[in-house]
Structure 1
Amino acid sequence: MKSVVKFSLLSAAIVAAVFSAAAHAAPGASDSPTLQRWQAGGTVVLGVRESATPMAYALGANEKFVGYHVELCEKVVRAIAPQAQLKYMVLTAQNTMPLIQNGTADFNCASMTNSLKRQDQVAFGLTTYVSEVRMAVAQQAPITSFKQLDGKKVSAITGTTAVQILRRYAAEHGIQFQTLMAKDQFEAFLLLESGRVDAFVLDDNMLAGVIAQSKHPAGYKIVGEVIGAEPIAIQFSKQDPAIKQAVDGAIRQMMANGEIERLYAKWYTQPIPPKQVNLNLPMGSTLKKLLAQPNDVPVEQFQP
């Protein structure tokens, strides 16, 4: 709202100077029926998750949805349609793509890898997170490298790219370990928590999230060299190019003015609700480079 008020008070002498920059973040309503509806005060449905800490998760009995990508989505919408009303819808990994495609949800604010296959179905914004495949171990465990997993037991989630990356790494480095597959991050972490495995391998942000929600967050740590990296971005319909232009314009402004870095620090290097746990995941060099040179390159062409 503040940016709209300030713009309305600008003198006619400088309107032309700022119009070009503003147009990149929020094209005129006439460019898109959807943007027109949003900018007129219509509802924007943000797809969220219940427990994908710290990207998108619920506080209480789904009373409030928070997280790095949730707040990013909210700021993007406020930039391109300040009058829009926000509504939150819980999505799952299985229904996200079809619900974005058919317009039931306008944005997916959770964590999803940008891939060529998915680009056939939805549009991705500029990359705003880079997930790095690492592992969680008990705080006192001596494991610091994936090479130390030889002869040990590891938990992973069925169907994730982390599993493929882990197997490729093992083959390339000649190490062998037993893999116990789980249906989700909570089941996989329980295997670690109960001592049935020595390490749990997954994307670092998801590892940090499940540790933060555990009974004893201080009892676990994320270690190991990065064995794989994937670009993460918010998604929306690909049927309206004006939305892609508006979203990317808003994200570029947030990258340029330091807002993305502030949001990242808030959710990854400071205490977060509900337990006020600090995930201690400083921004990596790959994401820092992307903030300086933004792109929406899919994982198949991604070079960290």
Structure 2
Amino acid sequence: MLKILFQRLLAAILLLLPSTLALAETDLSFNGSTIERLKETRVLRVGYGSAQPFSFKTSSGEVVGYSIDLCRAMARKMQAMLDLPELSVELVQRTPANRIQLLNDGGIDIECNASTNVADRRKAVFFTPPHFIAQTKVVSLARNNINRIDDLRGKSVAVVLGTVNVSQILQLSRERKLGLVSVPVNEVREAFELVKSGRVSAFAMDDVLIRNLIAQTGNPDDYVVSSEAISEPQPYGFMTRINDPQFAELAATALRSIYRSPQMQEMYDRWFMQPFEGSPQGLNLPISDELKASFATQ
């Protein structure tokens, strides 16, 4: 009997051993320098999302977008700065809920999408200099007659897990005694579909992302974006690991060089002034004076 128990225990240990070793390897890989790993592997792991026009997959499966173009250009700058013969970009899909965890456990080296740079997040990650500036607003069906924040009283509002909009809606409801019902989902498009189908009254999200979602419907008059903003203008940045300031500075230096170059205006116009897959009319969103000044002074 003891022999059988011992054999079962040994088998269980052997089954657990590979996963234990894998976890140990992951931990060891990212307690050190990202720059040294770049030199060793010549691969930059880039996290992407599903937030047009920042990063998204086309119908053919290609990952594209404003943030992706920026991070590919950044990788080329890094390659030159580190004097590497090559530096390829490996694209890794992430969600708003798991992006910081992927950074911390080494699944990605940098997140290239549309993450808002706020104080709470800066406790967990480094942010690169801003590549966009946005405000949080709410979108609803026009027939719901939601034009101002107070029109949301007692209504259901979709929010995307892992975004700043979750806490913004909770704080707004508390401060204005609105009695909002938050409906959390995993992705931006999923939340917008809830609005389209009438399953929630509104969706709180960054204005530029809302604008793109409405443009894709082909029926923009069916929707209303609140005249009031839930937040002040807030910068987007690319996130890097909090325990690696050297890599964060490398990324920031590479991006500053791009932001100040003639290439920057072309890159911006490609995604905000011209049509792209999913947005045949384009967003027609000229670069703001605030963002232009940010690029020039970083």
Q: Normalization by structure 1: what TM-score?
A: 0.70
Aligned residue number for residue 263 of structure 1: 267
RMSD in angstroms over aligned alpha carbons?
Answer: 3.3
- Aligned partners of 2:143, 2:266: CA distance in 1, in Å? 32
Where do residues 227-238 of structure 1 align in structure 2 (5 Å cutoff)? 227-228=230-231, 229-238=233-242
CA deviations over 1:106-165 (Å, ceiling 9, x no partner): 111122223444334332211222231112244688755435x26574522165432443
Q: Is 1:43–1:87's contact at 8 Å kept on the other side of the alignment?
A: yes
- Aligned partners of 1:121, 1:167: CA distance in 2, in Å? 21
**Any idea what SS the aligned residue of 2:192 has?**
helix
For the pair 1:272 / 2:273, whether they are aligned, the reply is: no
**Any idea what SS the aligned residue of 1:47 has?**
strand
How much does 1:74 deviate?
0.9
- Aligned partners of 1:101, 1:72: CA distance in 2, in Å? 22
Aligned residue number for residue 42 of structure 1: 42
- Aligned partners of 1:259, 1:144: CA distance in 2, in Å? 38
CA deviations over 1:154-179 (Å, ceiling 9, x no partner): 5221654324434545666x584754
Percent identity over paired residues? 25
Where do residues 211-222 of structure 1 align in structure 2 (5 Å cutoff)? 211-214=214-217, 216=219, 219-220=222-223, 222=225
Aligned residue number for residue 53 of structure 1: 52
For the pair 1:193 / 2:196, whether they are aligned, the reply is: yes
Where do residues 115-126 of structure 1 align in structure 2 (5 Å cutoff)? 115-126=118-129
CA deviations over 1:36-62 (Å, ceiling 9, x no partner): 66468711111112x22221111126x
- Aligned partners of 1:243, 1:139: CA distance in 2, in Å? 46
- Aligned partners of 2:37, 2:169: CA distance in 1, in Å? 46
Structure (1 or 2) with the greater helix fraction:
2
- Aligned partners of 1:37, 1:281: CA distance in 2, in Å? 38
- Aligned partners of 2:166, 2:36: CA distance in 1, in Å? 43
CA deviations over 1:240-296 (Å, ceiling 9, x no partner): 4332222111221222224444333322232121442422444344433422333xx
Where do residues 1-304 of structure 1 align in structure 2 (5 Å cutoff)? 34-35=34-35, 38=38, 42-49=42-49, 51-60=50-59, 63-82=61-80, 83-138=86-141, 144-147=147-150, 149=151, 153-157=155-159, 159=161, 160-166=163-169, 168-169=171-172, 176=178, 178-179=180-181, 181-184=183-186, 185-195=188-198, 199-214=202-217, 216=219, 219-220=222-223, 222-228=225-231, 229-294=233-298
Q: Is 2:134–2:234's contact at 8 Å kept on the other side of the alignment?
A: yes
Q: Normalization by structure 2: what TM-score?
A: 0.71
- Aligned partners of 1:291, 1:104: CA distance in 2, in Å? 29
Name the count of aligned residue pairs. 259
